[in-house]
Structure 1
Amino acid sequence: MILLVLLSFIIIIISNFVMILSMILSKKSLKDREKCSPFECGFDPKSSARNPFSLHFFLITVIFLIFDVEIALIFPMIYTFKMTNLIVWSKTIIFFLIFLLIGLYHEWNQNMLNWTN
């Protein structure tokens, strides 16, 4: 046990030393004005280089990913239907579906399901 703690401590010290050494020897400048400005064939940019990001689109994407995870969790429950006790399986699936419905109600209550405002 002591050997494991000692080796972990040595690994942490060596990795921190390498990270600090790489930061010291790095030639990157965080405040390089030329690298921060957009390049348009040597001319001054006509508009902002940053496009506005739709936060609502991001929220819809997160909801879709959560839906995918929910489906990935429901499929094994369907497969184990014949192999487990019906009462335990029913309680588990009902609890899981109620939990998902509460999440859906919360999303609906927060108007996250409306595509346009």
Structure 2
Amino acid sequence: MGPLVHKLPSYLQDTTDYLIKSKASEPLLPDTLLVSLDVTSLYTNIPHNEGIQACKEAWETRNMDNPPTHFLVQLLELVLKLNNFEFNGENYLQINGTAMGTKMTPLVC
């Protein structure tokens, strides 16, 4: 989803991107208050089924069909729903969020 997110008009890459876009926009009203915030643990707050559905809907708007959306959805389900790990000799299945360091997490979420 990374490439799709970058096309949203509300997307800001960094401070420099904001400054460039703000110079090109209408002047702010005098009483305007600009606010910045940082979201923590965003990935773990996205329920798997809703996240998969959102990705599917976004992928269906792509200008290409290779790989097919159903294939991408299957891969995403594998990563999210079959996330097994071992800790202290015990095996676990992560049922919420994504694994730390999962390479697809920033691209999808």
TM-score of the two chains, using structure 2 as the length reference: 0.28
